[in-house]
Amino acid sequence: MSSNKNPRSIILTGDRTTGALHLGHYVGSLRNRVALQHQHDQYVLLADSQALTDNAHDPKKIHRYVVEVALDYLAVGIDPAISTICVQSALPALAELTVLYLNFVTVARLERNPTIKDEIQARGFGRDIPAGFLCYPASQAADITAFKATLVPVGDDQAPIIEQTNEIVRRLNRQTGKALLPEARALIPAIGRLPGVDGKAKMSKSQGDAIPLTASDAEIEAAVRRMYTDPNHLRASDPGQVEGNVVFLYLDAFDDDRDEIASLKERYRQGGVGDMVLKHRLAFVLKTILAPIRERRALLARDRNFVMDILQTGSRKAREITENTKKELLEALGIFRIELGP
Ligand code: ATP
Ligand code: MG
């Protein structure tokens, strides 16, 4: 009898089109997407509508980054022949589901979401929080459920958002009396949060502490030079601290030679390894990873029509799926709409 241990899952993941993708995206999500796309049905969403929730003053930038982020996807190896790349604003069902879901979540619950709390603080909104921003977990719940996704490869900042999505799913399923929407599982890698080059908690497009996937060799070297190590490690012969040392954290995330890194940590702890040795190694590893991505991207960027075709084809397919889910859900909830006729 054939066992079905590894059935295909539906994957939904994506990025806000607020800026160039960076090493944090690579570690937190892109690597998993490239690996998972062969075994699963993967949808990758360019979240341009969600990007407006804290960028309404600059819609041109958000629009421009739709193609730029798509180029980043293609350059890292997301294959449009097996993954569906689509644009949020081309999928009106997502906006309709967002409005519907806002009735299934309270303001207090949104305000308690730890990721939202952190992001409000990082953006310095004070009391002037755009309502769309506070409510973006409902929009992410709409994105995930419209595709009936069960697997969401993300960085660890997204875990509370997936948790909130599942709460909304349970409320809707209770209301309809049917298990129409599946709950989703966040797939978070071992290093689920890459700090910024300045050691800040999370590398982020909005905070100016990122190494973009397009960084040149010289930019990579400059960023690595600026990284914190152990402030008390003044001479190579001094014993150094590995924990909290940003360079080691990056080596853990990017250097595949685990044995060599373990030995380097041991020698660093004892004393005898200079910071420049670590930094040279890290710069070399990052340059080796980013050079082919940068080259592929430069080639792809010459033909924007090709990218636009991919986005249109993907969005057409996604539109059908998301409209179907919306229709099923409205019917199950008993929400009827008048027909307008031709
Ligand atoms: P913004 O500052 O505009 O919010 P961002 O850099 O946080 O941008 P998002 O588009 O919000 O990027 O996130 C897209 C995906 O990348 C999410 O799954 C998120 O968890 C992941 N991600 C972003 N930054 C990091 C990071 N530093 N480490 C790990 N994963 C990350
Ligand atoms: Mg973010």
Per residue in 144-164, pLDDT (tens digit) is: 999 999 999 999 999 999 999
In this structure, the residue with its CA closest to atom 7 of ligand 1 is: 204
Q: What is the mean pLDDT of the chain?
A: 95
Whether residue 206 has pLDDT greater than 80: no
Residue 3, pLDDT > 70, answer no
Ligand nearest to the backbone CA of 31:
1
33 lines ligand 1 (CB under 6 A): no
Output the six-digit token pair for 171: 């409320």
Cβ of 158 less than 6 Å from ligand 1 = yes
What is the per-residue pLDDT across 11-29, written as a single tens digit (0 to 9) for each? 999 999 999 999 999 999 9
- Ligand 1 neighbourhood includes 16 CB (under 6 angstroms): yes
CATH architecture observed for domain 217-299: Orthogonal Bundle (1.10)
Pairing of strands 10-16, 41-47: parallel
Domain boundaries for CATH 1.10.240.10 within the chain: 217-299
pTM for the predicted model, two decimal places = 0.94
Instruction: Specify whether the CB–CB gap between 13 and 42 falls below 8 A.
Output: yes
Q: Pinpoint the alpha helices (H) of 177-274.
A: 217-225, 246-254, 258-270
Whether 48 lines ligand 1, by a CB cut-off of 6 Å, is no
Query: Whole-angstrom Cα distance, residue 138 to residue 93?
Result: 13
Nearest atom (ligand 1) to Cα of 154: 18
Instruction: Give the pLDDT score at 339.
Output: 86
* Amino acid at the residue 291: A
According to the model, what pLDDT value does residue 274 have?
A: 94
- pLDDT of 330 higher than 60: yes
Judge contact between 46 and 85, C-beta under 8 A.
yes
Determine the 3-state secondary structure of 148 from DSSP. Answer: coil
Q: How far is CA 211 from CA 32, 119, 274, in A?
A: 19, 20, 23
Map tokens 């993967």 to a residue.
42
Q: How far is CA 203 from CA 59, 71, 115, 157, in A?
A: 23, 20, 14, 11
pLDDT band at 31 (very low <50, low <70, confident <90, very high): very high
Q: Which of 17, 22, 29 to mutate to test the pocket of ligand 1 (most atoms within 8 A of CB)?
A: 29
Cβ of residue 54 lying under 6 Å from some atom of ligand 1: no
- Ligand 1 probe mutation, 12, 13, 15, 115, most atoms within 8 A of CB: 15
- High-pLDDT (> 70) share of the chain, %: 98
Q: Would you say 171 and 123 are in contact if contact means Cβ atoms under 8 Å apart?
A: no
- How much is the pLDDT for 12? 98
Mean pLDDT of 227-253: 93
For residue 336, the model assigns a pLDDT of: 84
Q: Is the pLDDT of residue 266 over 70?
A: yes
Query: Under DSSP, is residue 134 helix (H, G, I), strand (E, B) or coil?
Result: helix
Q: Check if CATH label 3.40.50.620 holds for domain 10-194+304-333.
A: yes
Q: What is the pLDDT of residue 48?
A: 98
| Statement: residue 1 has pLDDT above 50 | no
The rounded Å distance from CA 228 to ligand 1 centre is 21
Tell me how far the alpha carbon of residue 22 is from its chain's centroid. 10
* φ/ψ (deg, to 5) at 142: -65, -45
Tens-place pLDDT, residues 288-298: 999 999 999 99
Residue 115 near residue 161 (C-beta atoms within 8 A)? yes
Query: Distance from the CA of 272 to the center of ligand 2, in angstroms?
Result: 39
pLDDT at residue 195 greater than cutoff 80: yes
Strands of 83-87's sheet, edge to edge?
83-87, 41-47, 10-16, 151-153, 185-187
pLDDT in tens, 42-84: 999 999 999 999 999 999 999 999 999 999 999 999 999 999 9
Inform me whether the pLDDT recorded for 301 exceeds 80. Answer: yes
201 confidence band (pLDDT: 50, 70, 90): confident
- 225 pLDDT more than 80: yes
Contact 112, 161 (CB under 8 A): no
What are the C-alpha distances in Å from 67 to residues 12, 31, 270, 302, 306? 19, 20, 49, 12, 11
Instruction: Dump the DSSP string for 174-185.
Output: HHHTS--S---E
Backbone CA torsion sign across 182, 173, 154, 54: positive
Give the model's pLDDT for residue 5.
56
Where do the CATH 3.40.50.620 domains begin and end in the chain? Answer: 10-194+304-333
pLDDT of residue 342: 87
Residue 2 has pLDDT above 80, yes or no: no
Cα-to-centroid distance, 335 and ligand 1 (Å): 35
Contacting residues for 177 by C-beta, under 8 A, at least 6 apart: none
Between the CA of residue 187 and those of 13, 96, 203, what are the distances in Å? 10, 27, 19
CB distance 89 to ligand 1 below 6 Å:
no
Q: What is the predicted pLDDT for the residue at 4?
A: 47
Query: Is the shortest distance between the CB of 25 and ligand 1 below 6 Å?
Result: yes
CA of 147 to the centre of ligand 1 (A): 21
5: phi then psi, degrees, rounded to nearest 5 = -75, -30
